[in-house]
Amino acid sequence: MNRLLCTRLATLSVRTSTVSRPLQWRTLSTMDTASEHSRTESAQHYDIIIVGGGMVGTALACALGKNSRLQDKSILLLEAAGSFKRPATEAGQYSNRVSALSKGTYRLMQTIGAWEEIERTRVKPVLRMQVWDACSDAVITFNYDDLSENISWIVENDVLLASVYRQLEQVQNVQVRYGAKLASCELIRDGADTSTVRLTNGETLQCDLLIGADGFNSLVRRQMGVQNFALPYNQMGVVATLRLAHAPTDNVTAWQRFLPTGPIALLPLSDDTSSLVWSTGMAEAKRLLQLDGDAFVAAVNAAFHKPMPRNTLVDDMVKGVQALIKHSTGQRVEAAPVVEAELPTSRAAFPLGLGHTGTYVGQGVCLIGDAAHRVHPLAGQGVNLGFGDVQTLVDVLADANYSGLGISNVGELLKYEQQRLKHNVPVLLTTHSLQRLYTTDFAPTVALRSVGLTLTNAFPPVKKFLMNYAMS
């Protein structure tokens, strides 16, 4: 399966530079001015329409609207939800969906002005991460020297979204429409000057560039007619907000234990509160959702602390490797904190899977975020890949508009696709390989991964490279 996946993704990445597009190339010219007069009065026109008002789509709208080279462009953000509700940020009230923001995302939030609002609301830095294998003594820790630099930042999704929306209120050339559900769309093909979007209320909109930020079931992607590779993991991610017993005063460590059924992680939210992300089988996830609070807390503590069946040969092999490299490891290994209670109404679950589309762009259309790619949350890369898409796409469109090449030009949009494939495909392959590697207790596989983890932990330059790449 891994070999097939690698072949499919490699093929998708090569296509962008070797296969010509069936869609026509288009450059803004005086013909665009003439086409303005030919549009029907019933169809409102925007330069850019973004479908999907989640974190990635909203950040894109804000970044485009604030870019000095795109001030002449009218931008419309379509959000299917009826209205945006500000998150509850009182003490003790947390959202159950959080993200571990990378340094690249941190820089993007600073650029659009949202980071100051996030800091005022609620954010928790991660200075250290400890990952260990439940089937062996293998462990790896990630941190910068003397805990002097953040690895990532844990932010509730609702808090981030609210902070970006607050910035959008100040952007004059961006309009947001709530309750705007997409019924269909027609892309720029066969000589058409604009793409057409039809809403479920019968309204018709037109644009020069249509951007699909509408998730892994993207309607925009389906309309493009491109190949999409999808692989369900038959797992669910169980999330909850937990209060820690005798928590460290700073609580700046992210903990992740790889169980044979999938990884379980605790991400710090405050000095005594952490967010749970537990990837497990469908049946077990449904069982966990049905447990009462005390039983659920007991299950979480067992998942983090209960010894798993061990193979003597694997243990001896890992101990032998550890003895050989003991002089080169300076990391301390700590026990994960004990969970004391679950915050009310915090538990939920969502399906997990892998996805990647064969083409991110076409004539006057492109995909970002989960509409283009979907990964397992074990490495915390999902939303960061989407925000990386945002930064690259904004840079490409700004340069194209400044150069007079037009925002719907396939040649320019391909620059976005090619840059993102170089980053996204390796991350997809890595997370998929880790998911397959760690969801088994087969002794030879446990031995292989345990020795690899132990050796990686022994070489700080390798760990630093991995850490910088994942969180760049």
Q: What tens digit of pLDDT does each residue of 41-78 get?
A: 457 999 999 999 999 999 999 999 999 999 999 999 99
pLDDT of residue 91: 63
348-357 vs 228-245, strand pairing mode: antiparallel
SS3 state of residue 280: strand
Average pLDDT over all residues of the chain: 86
253-259 vs 128-133, strand pairing mode: parallel
Residue-wise burial string across 97-135, b where 16 or more C-beta atoms lie within 10 A, e elsewhere: bbbbbbbbbbebbebbbbbebbeebbbbebbbbbbbbbb
Residue 138 main-chain phi, psi, to 5 deg: -70, 135
Distance CA 471, CA 429 (A): 16
DSSP 20: -
Classify domain 44-471 by CATH number. Answer: 3.50.50.60
Question: The tokens 């067992």 sit on which residue?
Answer: 302
- Residue 214 tokens read as 């509408």
Beta-carbon contacts of 406 under 8 Å, excluding residues fewer than 6 positions away, are 26, 27, 28, 208, 400, 412
pLDDT one digit per residue (tens) for the chain, 472 residues: 544 455 445 444 444 443 333 333 222 332 343 344 444 445 799 999 999 999 999 999 999 999 999 999 999 999 998 877 776 666 668 888 999 999 999 999 999 999 999 999 999 999 999 999 999 878 999 988 777 789 999 999 999 999 999 999 999 999 999 999 999 988 987 667 899 999 999 999 999 999 999 999 999 999 999 999 999 999 999 999 999 997 656 899 999 999 999 999 999 999 999 999 999 999 999 999 999 999 999 999 999 999 988 888 888 888 888 777 764 444 556 889 999 999 987 899 999 999 999 899 999 999 999 999 999 998 888 899 999 999 999 999 999 999 999 999 999 999 999 999 999 999 999 999 999 999 988 999 999 999 998 888 888 888 888 887 777 7
- Residue 222 tokens read as 């389906």
CB 367 within 8 A of CB 185: no
pLDDT of residue 191: 66
pLDDT of residue 41: 47
pLDDT of residue 310: 85
- Residue 443 tokens read as 């002794």
CB 48 within 8 A of CB 64: yes
Residue 354 main-chain phi, psi, to 5 deg: -115, 140
CB 54 within 8 A of CB 176: no
SS3 state of residue 377: helix
pLDDT of residue 131: 94
pLDDT of residue 14: 42
What's the pTM value of the predicted model, to 2 decimals? 0.88
